[in-house]
Amino acid sequence: MHHSFTSPPAILTFGEAMAMFVADTPGELSGIERFHRRLAGADNNVAIGLSRLGFHVGWLSRVGTDSFGGFIQAALKAEGIDDRYIHADAQHPTGLLFKERAQDGADPRVEYFRRGSAASHLTIDDARNVDFQALNHLHATGITPALSESARQLSHHLMEQARAHGATISFDPNLRPSLWPSENVMRSTLNELAGRADWVLPGLSEGQLLTGQKTPYDIAGYYLDQGASAVIIKLGPEGSYYRGNLDGQEESFTVDGCPVAEVVDTVGAGDGFAVGVISALLDGRTARQAAQRGNLIGAQAIQVVGDMEGLPNREHLQALEAELYPA
């Protein structure tokens, strides 16, 4: 891993990381005494996944000057993330979350303590030192604009600047209805941001809620009409659906999901999927190979307890791809 970066990052993600406490045993959180501390946050999961595959990734955020902010910075540094755009905020705390230990592949319940967090105070000003000339790709999620009005302005600003400087942009809606004032505000804000992206990565139910369309074909059509060049829809265990014009002409297809022996923790599957799709497209692979790699890394993510502990390095990924998709 290279830690002392001289050049600015070629890939940028941004948002909120939290210290996550995962219950050691199943059951209601009110009865749990022992927890394990991990790192959580959709956009930093993607940053870590891309960094493990050898990309030079920066992550832009605010963390508190408390011990949890220190933990987040150390964890990302250990993953080889370029930390030049991480701001320490002495006025506001780092967000926390507590997560149940789920059983039998159920989605675990989560409780957040993140209101008023350092990251919710992100503003356009936090992007003033970003070197957009160096940027090849920006990954944005729908969580960051949900944090606050100023974080929403930052999301718009980064996407505008990335596009103006010729970087590609991916967008994962990552619906968190509890963070938004209303479903209508969520829908209009996220669709507006999706319209600034090249590659849109919704889950099927997310796409249905955001676009009002039923089928993967029509959901994709909605975002292609807004200017996206590729829409890759997550279908859960069924795999993923692609519709777009990345390889010159419009095509659409479904790619079967990867078999998973045991689902340990569903959280992080979508972030793993994003890592797969984005890395493959940046590697110059075809749309089909990108959807396959998305499925593959998404499947890795759900077989471990943490949100990003299952994300492979380049060597592991090559072995998995050779096994599943022999040339």
CB atoms closer than 10 angstroms to residue 139: 29
Residues 6+ apart with CB under 8 A from 7: 56, 134
Amino acid identity at 184: N
Element (H, E) at 89: strand 86-89
For 100, the 3-state DSSP assignment is: coil
Is the backbone of residue 258 left (phi > 0), alpha (psi -120 to 50) or beta?
A: beta
Catalytic: 271? yes
Given the residues 126, 265, 271, 307, select the one marked as catalytic.
271
Determine the Cα–Cα distance for residues 123 and 315; give it in Å rounded to an integer: 38
Q: Tokens 């991916």 correspond to what residue? A: 170
Residues 6+ apart with CB under 8 A from 274: 46, 49, 139, 170, 172, 201, 294
Phi, psi of 68 (to 5 degrees): -70, -35
For 164, the 3-state DSSP assignment is: helix
Residues that are catalytic: 271
